[in-house]
Amino acid sequence: GFSDPPALEISEQGIEASFSLGLPNIAVGVFSLSNLSLGASLTVPFLGQQPLSVRFNFCERSDPFRLTVWIFGGGGFFAVTVTPAGVQILEAAFEFGAAASLDFGVASGSVSVMAGIYFRIEMDEASLTGYFNLKGRVSVLGLITASLELSLELTYEFSSGKCVGRASLIIEVEVLFFSASVEISCEKRFAGSNGDPSFAQIMAPYDDPITGKPVDPWAEYCSAFAA
């Protein structure tokens, strides 16, 4: 009954034994629950600084379960890694959206919209991410194809108190044997001040690592405006 038979992998870093078990799909009318799986792994390291760890998961981030009701759907996963010292990594994600496709003979297209949250705790650090994905594709007679993928995410870092926003846009066009793609991405950090050096720390005197001579950043800053 194992979709991934129990496996044993031995390397220079240690031994890892793992397995996964696929669960049957559930479908009742317009409701369906699919792609369910359970997994576990045990890692025994050969290096003393790395602890023994056990991981349990319900589906995977790259292969989440799927819950659909008509054109609406969602999914998610949950995983936790435990060591003798406690929980090392805990992560979970849940998403919801809709998908639709149209076919007019000479032209066809599809679009999907998905939004969700991803939570992760690793040792003493934690983050919470909200994301939005939009994918669209249109094809005319199979000769001209255009696709668009928009991804937005906003991550809150508990350790620094900062929010990190990321956005990417990918556009692909195919005409017969010619194809081209353009990708645009950006990232911005805002809010919070934990972990940032203070003004006094930035302007504190220090010794030049090359010459060994003392350097006074505040004096250099002031002299730049003296002229």
70-86: average pLDDT: 88
Residue 160 pLDDT more than 50?
yes
Selection from 144, 145, 147, 146 nearest residue 134 by Cα = 147
Q: What's the confidence (pLDDT) of residue 141?
A: 82
Band (55; pLDDT cuts 50, 70, 90): very high
Chain centre distance of CA 29: 33
Say if CB 37 and CB 20 are below 8 A apart: yes
pLDDT-derived band at 1 (thresholds 50, 70, 90) equals very low
Per-residue pLDDT, 126? 87
In the structure encoding, which two tokens stand for residue 142, read together?
A: 């199979």
User: Residue 116 has which token pair?
Assistant: 């969700």
Task: Output the CA angle 133-74-170, nearest 5 degrees.
Answer: 15
| Amino acid residing at 180 | A
Q: Is the pLDDT of residue 192 over 70?
A: no
In this predicted structure, what is the pLDDT of residue 208? 80
Looking only at the bridges linking them, the beta strands covering 31-34 and 37-45 are unpaired
Q: Cα–Cα distances in Å, from 103 out to 113, 138, 156? A: 19, 10, 41
pLDDT at 151: 93
- C-alpha 227/C-alpha 224 separation (Å) is 7
Q: What is the mean pLDDT of residues 176-193?
A: 83
- pTM metric for this prediction: 0.67
Q: List the single range of 44-48, 76-80, 112-116 with lowest mean pLDDT.
A: 44-48
Cβ atoms < 10 Å from Cβ of 67: 20
| pLDDT greater than 90 at residue 167 | yes
Query: Residue 191: what pLDDT?
Result: 66
d(CA 7, CA 9): 7
pLDDT at 23 over 90: no
pLDDT of 47 reads: 75
Maximum pairwise Cα distance, the chain: 80
Q: What is the pLDDT of residue 162?
A: 82
Residues 111-124 have pLDDT tens digits of 889 899 999 998 77
Average pLDDT over residues 27-33: 81
Are the C-beta atoms of 36 and 43 separated by less than 8 Å? no
3-state secondary structure at position 81? strand
Once rounded to an integer, what is the mean pLDDT over residues 188-196?
68
Is 60 exceeded by the pLDDT of residue 3?
no
